[in-house]
Structures are given as structure tokens and as C-alpha cells.
Amino acid sequence: MYFQLSRRALLCAGTALCSLMILAGAPARAEDDATDMPEVVIKEKPSVMERYKIPNTAESITREKLADTVNVVDPEDAVKYMPSLSVRKRNNGDTQAVLMTRTWGYNSSARSLVYVDDIPISALLANDNTRGGPRWGMVAPEEIERVDMMYGPFAAQHAGNSMGGVLQITTRMPEKLEVTAKQTETLQAFNLYKTKDTYRTDQSSSTIGHKIGDLSLFVAATSTYSEAQPVSVLTSSSAVTGTTGAISAVDKSGSRADVIGMGGLLRTEMQNIKTKLAYDFTPELKASYTLGFWQNHGRSRTESYLKDASGNTTYGAASTTSKAATAFAGSNYILEQAQTSHALSLKSDTKGLWDFEGNVTHVHYDRDIQKQPLGTAGGTTFTTNGKYTQMDGTNWTSADAKGIFRPGGLGGAHEASFGVHFDRYILFAPTYTTANWRTEAPVTGRTTDARGNTQTYAAWAQDVWKLTDTVKATLGGRYEYWETFKGYVMTSSSDFHAASSDRSAFSPKGSLAWEFVPQWTVTGSAARSTRFPTVSELYMTSGTGVNMTIANPNLAPERTNTYEIALETSLGDGKTRVSLFHEDVANALISQTNAASGGGTSTYVTNVKAIRNRGVELAAQQNNVVITGLDLAGSLTYVDAEIRKNPAWAGGTETVGKRVPNIPMRRATVTATYRPTDEWALSTAARYQDRMPTTMDNTDYVNKVAGSFDAFFVMDVRARYKHNENLEAAIGIDNVNDCKYYEFHPFPQRTFIAELKLKL
């Protein structure tokens, strides 16, 4: 039944998109008094893409569109229905919400870039779905002005991490005094195995801003209390001695994995404060400074299904090594985090012969610690002794200087841009044992340690050349020099300082766009990009018992050759686009898990010799379809991702010809918004995504179990009422069809959302 529903959803998405293309040229019904309306001129700040004439295929969504169509609790919700994008958001306030792009999955956090204005919030410390999640907490939903997604690595000013694309979040600054207050409430009804409960989120946010003469000030503050559904299904491969209550089950590869309880029931208290100052030295020269502070306190608990001989709930016998003990102890933890970000920029906007800008950013982990017990102590208690991983001091810094040269003036035949870049990423991640895990003291030992630095110097240039009124060529290149140093890896069996290393790369870019008839444009693009290993891929090590994650300081950079042909039309009130894309990747950095000698497993990142990603993306949106006020949008994406060469694989099975892990083959979105009056906006949306393998040999074939990445079809609805400029409210339901699915973790089920916003 579920597979039939998913296919039907995909068919409906395709039908909607075809209808949009047919309707692309259909005129909207005019209002009787339209000719009497005064002309309104709206001046908008150009996006980064427009300022630098970036040649990438792009999709955008504005603040007003978000308010009408998306139930936004966290800033990453903004991309929910954008073509080919998905965010692995497990719960409200999730700190591991990784962005999936057109050709790369959830475990590819370093294969995309996320910016908030001039601040890179991508955590390029890692390339995974844990430590590598963007620091979404550094932006408040209420400050978002627009979101732009630029697909692919076709812009010379972006590093090789842009192979999946660049997400640019633009925030707003006030032109006059404004004060807003918003309250958001959510309730999720959850039912899985023996766990049935309701989980809520309370979010309060406010902003205040003003512009006095040449000085602008904007402050945004958000406080969130969130209760998460279980994000871990706790399992055991054998019966837990002396207990009953386990539910017979298997894991994603078909091996025995009885369900013994739930973990990751996380209660989170999170605060975000953002202060932005801007000063206009002249109408063409502006300086700005942004200070962001984010803190998070989380407490995760467990729920056991096991009963002892007397019928009492138990975690099993006292132990620090058994499967049940480590499962329960590992899901019972305290999380404390605090991070600050700084950004300083100076920009000119003369639109004349020259323009320039300079940006310096710094993100610092002031406090980042996760602490947990070592095992169980009998009944439903845990050991007093435990361990904690502390990443205090981890940080990154980036600096950019850019210029624009227009030899023929604005609108001339040539527009050249150029710049230099520097970044440094510093990792600290030791794990200690302690006599009291709640207080972190006294420390009794150190089990693992991972430290290291990476830094990159880069220079780039790009020229946009109007060959004719209808043909435009963009040529560019980027040179990068990358180095690692101060690498240190410590485990129970090894302790070494890694040798420093360095690499360099040149990445040429090219694009040719031709408007062959009015409002119809075809664009061909080609680019090489190089992604250097992250500091975590090189040095991070951790483990439990005989299952280890092993550092690999000898990784080589991965290199892609990416091609795209896009056909786009802007006929009608909207646009329709189809893109064909192809990507060849050499030395792809992919995590693999193999059986280790003596039992257990070893997980490590290695260079897969060659993979290929190719596919097609269809995206369309039209306003006022058939009737005034009805807007439709949607997308279809198909990706054929295949492993071509993998001599480093030691798993004992064939991987060549298999699908690349963590990349779904098919995805689709459809949204419909109807505005019957100026006050009301009614929206419905649907998202579909294929199941995807997570192992190199694609042997994980079981669906809807812990660790699987299932196909899902999710529908959302939203109704927004805007009484006037000072008062608005909205209600919505995410996952209204109550789809139960896993993206490794059990994902949220039907969730009700209510919002109330006041503006003074």
C-alpha cells in the first residue's frame, strides 16, 4: 500500500509539473479595476548571485512566500520545498540537520556551502550527518529576507565544497523603527512500537530594529523549548538474559536486532541572540558588523521495553560492555553547547567602474560537551562513572576580499570579478572518562583524542562577456593551496602526531547562455572543483568496544568534473526549467565500514577511485494559474549515482556498479497556494523521496527498521491569516498523512503548528 501511494504521489507531482508548463503562457485573469491601480516601485537589494553575475542555475524563495507556504519553526525549514533539496531535520532544534543537494546525500555536509549574509555557517570541520551539520542556530527565522540556492560548482568565487551547491540566506535590516513578537507552538502525536506520547515545542521570538540617520541596528532573539520523539531505536542481536518484553526484529541488512527500547528522547532548551549594526559612510559605501550568540542545553533519556522476573522495568544486568547496556547508556546523555559568531564587512555599491567588498568571519565553540554514563548498574539505573567528549575551542575563521570591474560601465559588454580567500579550521575533540559523568570530575583517563588544523589560500577571477544581446559567456578559474598541520590522533591502541601535508589545485569554470527566442534561454555549464578533506575526515577517531571509527590522515582531495545543460522559460507569471546534469568524481571521499580482524567493525573514510552522478531535474512555478490567487510549484529529480571503481574496498563483496550510498534515485515536491483575499493564504504541499542504500555494496535492503533510509511521501498544510500589518496568525499540520518512516532515525509523525505574530 505504501509503495502504491508513493508512486501515485510521484505521478501526481509529474502531472502538476506538466500542467504548469502547459499553462506557462496562459494569462492571469485581470481584475476589473487593475488599470486604476497606481504604479508601485519596489526597490530590492540585489542578491549575491545578481551582484556577481554568478552563472549557476538557481531557485529562490522570499520572506513573504515563506510566510504563506511553509511551517517554519527552524531556519532550515525554509528549503523544505525547493527543488532537489532536503534537510535531515529529526526534531525541532536539531543540531545535526544536514542539507541534501541535487547529487549528494545527508552524509555530505562538506559538499555544499551555507551562508547567512557574509557568514559561512557550514561546519566544514566534518563531512557527515553529525558534527558537519550547518550551524542553523546562528540565524533566527524572523530575520530571513530571502533564500537562494545556487546549484553546482560553476562560480569561481566558491570553493570546491560547492560541488553540491551554495545556499545563501539573506537577512533584513530595518529602514525605520520596528518591533515584532512571535509565538510558535507545535504538538506531535507519536506512536511506534510500545512508545506512544505527545511531544511539544514552544518557541518565542522577537526583533527590534531602527535606522537613525546613517546608523542601522537590528536585534533578533529566539528561545525554543523542544521535546523530541525518540530518535534512536535500541536493539540487541541476542536475548537479554533474565528479561522479557523485547520485540522480535531485524536490522537494515536482515540480521537479528530485537527492539529493547527507545532512546534519544531529547528535551532541548535553546537560545539565539543576533545583533547587526550597519553604518552608511556614503550612499555607496557601507560597513556592517554582526554578533551572534547561540546556546543549547539538552537532556536525552531512554525508555526500556524490558521487564525482569517480577515484571519491573529494567535495562538488564549491570554491565558496561553488553549490547543492551551500551545501547541504553549511549542514549542517556547531557548536551551543553554555546557558540559565538562574528562578521565584519565593508562594501561599496557604486554600480560604476569599480566595486569592492571585504569580509572577515569567525565562529567559535565556547562550550561543546556531551557526557554520558559508561553502562547500566541494574534495574533502571546507570553507572556513576562515565565519559564525555569536549570540543571547546573548536573554531573556524574565513576572510574574503572581492572586486568588480566594469570597463564599459554598468550593462557593458564585460564585467569582471576577482578575489582572494583564506580559511582555517581548528578541531579539538578529546574524550575523557570520569568518576562522575554528570559533573565531569574527577577525570580518570582519556580514551580518544582528535586534534588538527586545516587552512586554505585561494585566488579566483571571472569574466562575464556579452557576446551579443542574446548570448553571454562566463569564464573563470580558482586556484587553491591547502595544508594540514598539528594533526594528532590518540586511541587505546595508538598515539601519534600526523605529518603535515599540503596540496594545490586549479579549477576552471565556463558557462554559455543563449536566449534563442524571447523568454527562452538555454545554458551550458562545465566546471572542475576540488574538495579537500575536512579536519574530521583526517583526524577524528572514536569507538565503543570492538567497533571503531578510525582516522585517516593520508586522504587525497576529491575532484569533480561537473556538466549541466539547462533550458528555462519565463513565459507567463513564473518560470519552468529542465536541467540535465552529469558529474564524474575521482577519489571520492566516502565513509566505509568493514569487518575487523578479531571481530567487530572498523569505519573509516577512504578515497573511492571513481563514481558517477547523472540525472535530470524539472522545476516549475506559476502564479495566478487559471484563477487569480492560485499559485502552483513543483519539482522532479532523478539521479543515477553509480560506483565505477573502488579498489580500496575490503568488505568481501562487489561494489562496482552499485549505487553510491545515501543518494536517493527519485525526489519530488508539489506546492499549491491559494489567496482568496488579501488576508488569507491557504497552502498544501507534498514531498516524496526514494529509499536509499547506505552501504557500499547496497546490502541494506530491509525497510522501516532502525538505520534504514526509507522512501517517504509526506503532505503538509498551512493557513495564514494576516489581519493587517500589525497582526497575523497561522495554523498548519506537517505530515498530515502521518507517514511513519526512518531516515536512519524515526522521523516526526503528524505535527500540529500554531503561530501568532505581532508587529509594532
User: Which of 338, 454, 460 is CA-nearest to residue 398?
Assistant: 454
Q: Tell me the β-bridge partners of 536.
A: none
Mean pLDDT over all residues of the chain? 89
Burial of 517 per CB tally in 10 Å (0-12, 13-18, 19+): exposed
Confidence band of 8 (pLDDT split at 50, 70, 90) = very low
Q: Tell me the β-bridge partners of 591.
A: 605
Residue 16 has pLDDT above 70, yes or no: no
C-alpha cell of residue 425? 579550521
Residue 567 has pLDDT above 60, yes or no: yes
C-alpha cell of residue 300? 536525552
Please give the Cα distance from 652 to 252 (Å, whole number): 18
Please tell me whether the overall predicted TM-score, pTM, comes out greater than 0.95 for this model: no
Please give the Cα distance from 536 to 553 (Å, whole number): 9
Place of cell 570530575: 441
DSSP state of 556: P
Please give the Cα distance from 458 to 246 (Å, whole number): 56
Residue 598: predicted pLDDT: 46
Please give the Cα distance from 714 to 709 (Å, whole number): 15
Residue 15: predicted pLDDT: 42
User: Which of 460, 458, 462 is CA-nearest to residue 416?
Assistant: 462
Residue 652: predicted pLDDT: 72
Q: Report yes or no: 684 and 707 within 8 Å, Cβ to Cβ.
A: no
Confidence band of 3 (pLDDT split at 50, 70, 90) = very low
User: Which of 613, 510, 616, 604 is CA-nearest to residue 560?
Assistant: 613
Residue 602: predicted pLDDT: 67
C-alpha cell of residue 375? 553502562
Distances (CA, A) of 360 to 117, 165, 193, 458: 12, 22, 50, 15
| Buried/exposed 670-701: b ≥16 CB within 10 Å, e otherwise | bbbbbbeeeeebbbbbbbbbbbbbbbbbbebe
Place of cell 540617520: 213
C-alpha cell of residue 281? 559612510
Find the angle CA(170)-CA(479)-CA(158) to the nearest 5 degrees: 15
Average pLDDT over residues 31-39: 39
What are the chain's domains?
Answer: 2-759 (2.40.170.20)
Find the angle CA(71)-CA(110)-CA(105) to the nearest 5 degrees: 60
**What percent of the chain has pLDDT above 90?**
77
Distance of CA 518 to the CA centre of its chain: 36
Average pLDDT over residues 24-50: 48
Average pLDDT over residues 728-756: 96
Residue 11 has pLDDT above 50, yes or no: no
Residue 156 has pLDDT above 60, yes or no: yes
Residue 1: predicted pLDDT: 36
Please give the Cα distance from 399 to 456 (Å, whole number): 11
Residue 9: predicted pLDDT: 41
Average pLDDT over residues 208-222: 95
Residue 530 has pLDDT above 90, yes or no: yes
Residue 28 has pLDDT above 90, yes or no: no
Q: Tell me the β-bridge partners of 358.
A: 346, 401
Distances (CA, A) of 356 to 287, 401, 463, 464: 12, 8, 15, 17
Confidence band of 594 (pLDDT split at 50, 70, 90) = low
In the chain, DSSP finds a helix count (H) and a strand count (E) of 5, 37
Average pLDDT over residues 416-428: 96
Distance of CA 627 to the CA centre of its chain: 36
Please give the Cα distance from 187 to 203 (Å, whole number): 12
Residue 24 has pLDDT above 60, yes or no: no
Around Cβ 36, how many Cβ atoms within 10 Å? Answer: 7
Q: Report yes or no: 316 and 254 within 8 Å, Cβ to Cβ.
A: no
Please give the Cα distance from 745 to 600 (Å, whole number): 22
Average pLDDT over residues 294-316: 95
Helix (H) / strand (E) element for 4: namely: helix 2-22
Residue 47: predicted pLDDT: 76
* Virtual torsion, Cα 657, 661, 663, 666, nearest 10 deg: 50
Q: How many CA atoms lie within 13 A of 44 on its CB side?
A: 13
Please give the Cα distance from 136 to 337 (Å, whole number): 13
In the chain, % helix, strand, coil (3-state, to 5) comes to 10, 55, 35
Please give the Cα distance from 283 to 50 (Å, whole number): 19
Q: Which residue has the higher pLDDT, 549 or 85?
A: 85
Please give the Cα distance from 449 to 495 (Å, whole number): 9
Residue 543: predicted pLDDT: 58
Amino acid in position 251: D
Distances (CA, A) of 740 to 367, 591, 670, 713: 35, 27, 20, 9
Average pLDDT over residues 670-696: 95
Residue 23 has pLDDT above 60, yes or no: no
Residue 631: predicted pLDDT: 96
pLDDT digits 0-9 by tens, 472-509: 999 999 999 999 999 999 987 778 899 999 999 999 99
C-alpha cell of residue 29? 485573469
Least confident range of 27-36, 113-122, 291-300, 472-481: 27-36
Least confident range of 6-20, 471-485, 682-696: 6-20
Confidence band of 603 (pLDDT split at 50, 70, 90) = confident
Distances (CA, A) of 245 to 241, 259, 308, 462, 503: 12, 9, 9, 65, 55
Confidence band of 45 (pLDDT split at 50, 70, 90) = low
Average pLDDT over residues 449-466: 96
Average pLDDT over residues 729-755: 96
Where does residue 194 fall: left (phi above 0), alpha (psi -120 to 50 degrees), or beta otherwise?
A: alpha
Q: Report yes or no: 199 and 227 within 8 Å, Cβ to Cβ.
A: yes
Confidence band of 600 (pLDDT split at 50, 70, 90) = very low
Residue 312 has pLDDT above 60, yes or no: yes
Residue 131: predicted pLDDT: 85
Average pLDDT over residues 408-422: 92
Average pLDDT over residues 356-361: 96
Q: Report yes or no: 385 and 436 within 8 Å, Cβ to Cβ.
A: yes
Residue 6 has pLDDT above 80, yes or no: no
Residue 256 has pLDDT above 80, yes or no: yes
Please give the Cα distance from 47 to 149 (Å, whole number): 11
3-state secondary structure labels for all residues of 695-756 = CCCCCCCCCCCCCCECCEEEEEEEEEEEEECCEEEEEEEECCCCCCCEECEECCCCEEEEEE
Confidence band of 42 (pLDDT split at 50, 70, 90) = very low
Q: Report yes or no: 314 and 322 within 8 Å, Cβ to Cβ.
A: no
